[in-house]
Amino acid sequence: MDHFAQDPRRYAQTERTLIVIKPDAVRRGLVGKIIQRFEDRSLKLIALELRTLEKERLEDLYSPHRGKPFFNDLVEFMSSGPVAAAILEGPEVIKITRLMIGNTKSPEAAPGTIRGDFGLGITENIIHASDTLESFERESKIFFP
Ligand code: CMP
């Protein structure tokens, strides 16, 4: 039995988030290691899919960043190979996952975080995770309609 189910009153409300393991991490064979970290934290894997996304879909995913100087490079990079998208479930999973992945800019990410342990880049920064419930609802539909 899921140990969160034993006494749900002890935990904050269960929620879901989307993570996207980026093409740099997939190319380097880091998918298993990264998923393992979330499972080690007792976050539950609800869905997992490996696929290469068309640019139009990536432009939707990153629509809040449209017009920023890094937007075209970001879409180019994200379409350069398969990504591993997953839905995770757990108490306060959005906040916990963001803390686990670390600062967007890998050189500023603390050791112990996923970007701090595996990343060096800013655009090529290993992993994306939804930052709010609204982002999760919008972004997850792109991968798991
Ligand atoms: P991600 O968490 O997927 O959200 C937006 C992405 O844009 C970010 O990770 C990086 O891959 C990329 N990016 C490139 N340059 C920047 C920047 N200066 N600030 C924020 N994000 C950037």
Can you say how many angstroms the Cα of residue 98 is from the centroid of all Cα atoms in its chain?
8
Report domain 8-143's class: alpha beta
Q: What is the pTM of this model?
A: 0.92
Each domain of the chain, given as residue ranges in start order, spans 8-143
140's tokens = 């997850």
Ligand 1, atom 6, residue with closest C-alpha: 123
Mutation to probe ligand 1, out of 80, 104, 135 (largest number of atoms < 8 A from CB): 104
Whether the CA torsion 17, 18, 24, 26 is positive or negative: it is: positive
What is the reported pLDDT for 5? 56
Neighbours of 33 (CB within 10 A): 14
What is the reported pLDDT for 7? 60
Write out pLDDT tens, residues 32-87: 999 999 999 999 999 999 999 999 999 999 999 999 999 999 999 999 999 999 99
Q: What average pLDDT does the structure give for the chain?
A: 94
